[in-house]
């Protein structure tokens, strides 16, 4: 791998930038691999990287039906944070945040980690109590979080209409280590680092069947021929149910579409991530100047990578209620991504009824922030056969034993998450 | 925007309705084991294609209806009473 550095940049500038090499090899598939990972998104590529780095397994292929990084890793609103409520989730997501903090050095790739802070707003006394409880749960796990009152919110972010007639802001909490990351760069950085360690990244290779021999998967049938595998890993956000059906089992997953939006670029306006508490709306400003924001899912099962207008209207209405100044901006683009919504709103990193097949699924709309830890834990599961201690609570068997994760206190219906 | 033809009220916009999930499931009986209840409560076929689902017409007649809808194209096959 050609290392990136200031010296290399200066050298290439003098040579007219003729010496740059492709960041990763666009490999043709071999007949057989030790591990085949389906889905070259954030989790698939991170898993391949950690298999190679932590476990010395480099006979790995990452397959994607299109070019890498065009799925949800390139469609999210780029937020990283660890302000969860249940202790195992705080530990898992904070481990991920720690990995983000060192990721650029680790991958030798500028993924533009910006720890600008993430502010969640409370609009009633009850909601503030709930935030205090969540903040205390985080402190018990040693994760820093600051409770803010209304004046502190106003001072931190003057854009917020704290005296809104219908949903006044009474306070909020701020995680200063949270922030944003350039999402495409995460896919490119992991792809480059994994490829340098010998992983094959195979693009335009769609899996069409997963043939089985008894309780084991023999490999994957693809549009570029059959690829044998000792172990198969599914990391295909949005389409996990379809791949699981090919292997002959069902998942506790529904696929829903989530929209995101970006406005025209403006001068620096918002220097933190803000999450509204009276509706589903979260916003940050990208380095290019556009405000990137999103809301909830459209509310019904959908495999369409586009959204419908009622939710677009609701998200914009919530945004303008929170920050009236946003009404002066024009929305430039809108897009949708398809999410694996699990029945308890929490992810699944698990073995399956097929002996040599593991899944990473059910990330709902929180998969991006979990990429480094998700990759670490899934690689550990695939290499050792045992769940990583940080992700032991993400097993598929929790829906059978009743140990579902009660992060937010809602029932087994994805339309509620 | 989906246009859903309510069997009682006629064609209406989706904002009048609330989605209530997969309508192809049937609740196991008292003689069935825990595994059957696990499948019923959690496991879904989740097809990329025609899907039978519950919708409530909360902004209209307030009655439940079953809808056949394609989850990839959003084309509605038909709506009827349960």
Across the interface, do A250 and B45 touch by the CB < 8 Å criterion? yes
Across the interface, do A303 and B45 touch by the CB < 8 Å criterion? no
Encode pLDDT of B20-38 as tens digits.
999 999 999 999 999 999 9
CB A45 within 8 A of CB A183: no
Question: Residue A321 and residue A332: Cα distance in Å, rounded?
Answer: 20
Rounded to a whole number of angstroms, the distance from the CA of B72 to the nearest CA of chain A is 5
Question: Residue B79 and residue B7: Cα distance in Å, rounded?
Answer: 7
Rounded to a whole number of angstroms, the distance from the CA of B50 to the nearest CA of chain A is 11
What is the predicted pLDDT for the residue at A227? 98
pLDDT under 70: residue ranges of chain A: none
Q: Give the Å distances, CA to CA, from A117 to A82, A93, A175, A273, B54.
A: 11, 15, 6, 6, 41
Q: In chain B, which among 31-50 make CB contacts under 8 A with chain A?
A: 34-35, 38-39, 41-48
Encode pLDDT of A303-356 as tens digits.
998 888 999 999 999 999 999 999 999 999 999 999 999 999 999 999 999 999
Q: How do strand B50-56 and strand B18-22 relate by DSSP bridges?
A: antiparallel
What is the residue whose two structure tokens read 């059957």?
B36
Strand order in the sheet with A118-122: A146-149, A171-175, A118-122, A273-275, A282-285, A291-301, A253-263, A331-342
What is the residue whose two structure tokens read 């902004």?
B59
Across the interface, do B46 and A239 touch by the CB < 8 Å criterion? no
Beta bridge partners, A203, equal none
Q: What is the DSSP letter of A114?
A: B
Most B CBs within 10 A among A300, A305, A411, hence the mutation to make, goes to: A300
**A22: its two tokens:** 């492709």
Instruction: Report the percentage of chain A scoring pLDDT > 70.
Output: 100
Across the interface, do A301 and B71 touch by the CB < 8 Å criterion? yes
What is the predicted pLDDT for the residue at A313? 95
**A137: its two tokens:** 């749960």
What is the predicted pLDDT for the residue at A185? 97
CB contact, 8 Å: A359 with chain B?
no
Question: Residue A97 and residue A100: Cα distance in Å, rounded?
Answer: 5
Nearest to A252 among B14, B21, B42 (CB): B42
What is the predicted pLDDT for the residue at A204? 97
Coil, strand or helix: which one is B70? strand
Coil, strand or helix: which one is A415? helix
Most B CBs within 10 A among A251, A303, A341, hence the mutation to make, goes to: A303
Angle between helices A183-196 and A42-55 in degrees, nearest 10: 30
Question: Residue A317 and residue A324: Cα distance in Å, rounded?
Answer: 10
Q: In chain A, whose CA is at the least distance from the CA of B70?
A: A302
**A227: its two tokens:** 């690829």
Q: Give the Å distances, CA to CA, from A413 to A71, A119, B60.
A: 24, 27, 23
Encode pLDDT of A349-370 as tens digits.
999 999 999 999 999 989 999 9
What is the predicted pLDDT for the residue at A125? 96
Across the interface, do A250 and B14 touch by the CB < 8 Å criterion? no
Radius of gyration of chain B (CA): 14
Nearest to A413 among B2, B21, B35 (CB): B21
CB A176 within 8 A of CB A27: no
CB A185 within 8 A of CB A112: yes
Beta bridge partners, B52, equal B68
- Pick from B18, B24, B21, B22: which is nearest to B63 by CA? B18
Nearest to B44 among A253, A300, A303 (CB): A253
Which domains, ranges and CATH numbers included, belong to chain B? 3-25+33-80 (3.30.2270.10)
Q: In chain B, whose CA is at the least distance from the CA of A402?
A: B38
Across the interface, do B48 and A251 touch by the CB < 8 Å criterion? no
What is the predicted pLDDT for the residue at B80? 87
Which domains, ranges and CATH numbers included, belong to chain A? 6-78+183-251+344-416 (3.50.50.60), 115-178+255-342 (3.30.9.10)
pTM: 0.95
Q: Is A19 exposed, middle or buried (0-12, 13-18, 19+ CB in 10 A)?
A: exposed
Radius of gyration of chain A (CA): 21
Q: How do strand B3-6 and strand B10-13 relate by DSSP bridges?
A: antiparallel
Q: In chain A, which among 239-268 make CB contacts under 8 A with chain B?
A: 239, 241-242, 245, 250-255
Residues of B in contact with A252 (CB under 8 A): 42-44
């Amino acid at each position: 791998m050609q290392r990136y550095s200031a010296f290399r940049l200066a050298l290439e500038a003098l040579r007219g930038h003729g010496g740059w090499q492709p960041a990763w090899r666009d490999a043709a598939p071999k007949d057989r691999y030790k591990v085949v990972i389906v889905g070259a998104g954030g989790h698939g590529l991170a898993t391949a990287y950690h298999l190679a780095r932590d476990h010395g397994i480099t006979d790995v292929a990452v397959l994607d039906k299109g070019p890498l990084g065009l799925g949800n890793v390139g469609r999210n609103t780029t937020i990283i944070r660890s302000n969860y409520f249940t202790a195992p989730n705080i530990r898992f997501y904070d481990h991920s945040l720690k990995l983000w903090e060192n990721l650029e050095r680790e991958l030798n790739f500028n993924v533009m980690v910006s720890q600008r802070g993430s502010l969640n707003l409370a609009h009633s006394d009850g909601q503030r109590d709930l935030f205090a409880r969540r903040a205390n749960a985080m402190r018990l796990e040693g994760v820093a979080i600051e409770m803010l009152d209304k004046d502190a919110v106003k001072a931190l972010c003057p854009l917020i209409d704290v005296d809104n007639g219908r949903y006044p802001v009474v306070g909020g909490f701020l995680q200063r280590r949270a922030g944003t990351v350039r999402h495409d760069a995460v896919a490119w950085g992991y792809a480059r680092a994994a490829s340098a360690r010998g992983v094959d990244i195979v693009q335009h290779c769609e899996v069409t069947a997963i043939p089985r021999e008894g309780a084991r998967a023999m490999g994957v049938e693809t549009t570029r021929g059959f690829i044998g595998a000792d172990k198969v890993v599914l990391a295909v956000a949005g389409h996990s149910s379809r791949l699981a059906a090919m292997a002959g089992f069902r998942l506790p997953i529904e696929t829903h579409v989530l929209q995101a939006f970006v406005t025209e670029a403006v001068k620096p306006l918002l220097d933190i991530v803000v999450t509204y508490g009276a509706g589903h709306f979260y916003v940050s400003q990208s380095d290019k100047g556009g405000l990137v924001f999103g809301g909830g899912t459209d509310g019904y099962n959908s495999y369409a990578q586009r959204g419908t207008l009622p939710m677009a209207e609701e998200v914009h209405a919530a945004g303008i209620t929170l920050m009236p100044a946003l009404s002066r901006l024009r929305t430039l683009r809108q897009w949708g991504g398809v999410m694996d919504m699990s029945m308890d709103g929490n992810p699944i990193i698990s073995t399956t009824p097929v002996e040599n097949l593991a899944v990473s699924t059910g990330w709902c709309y929180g998969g991006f922030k979990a990429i480094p830890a998700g990759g670490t834990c899934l690689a550990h599961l695939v290499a050792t056969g045992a769940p990583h201690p940080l992700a032991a609570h993400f097993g598929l068997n929790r829906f059978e034993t009743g140990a579902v994760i009660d992060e937010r206190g809602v029932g087994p219906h994805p339309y509620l998450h | 925007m989906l246009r859903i033809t309510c069997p009682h009220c006629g064609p209406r916009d989706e904002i009048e309705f609330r989605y209530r999930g997969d309508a192809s499931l049937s609740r196991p009986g008292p003689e069935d084991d825990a595994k059957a209840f696990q499948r019923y409560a959690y496991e879904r076929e989740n097809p990329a294609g025609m899907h039978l689902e519950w919708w409530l017409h909360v902004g209209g007649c307030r009655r439940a209806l079953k809808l056949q809808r394609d989850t990839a194209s959003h084309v509605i096959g038909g709506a009827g009473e349960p």
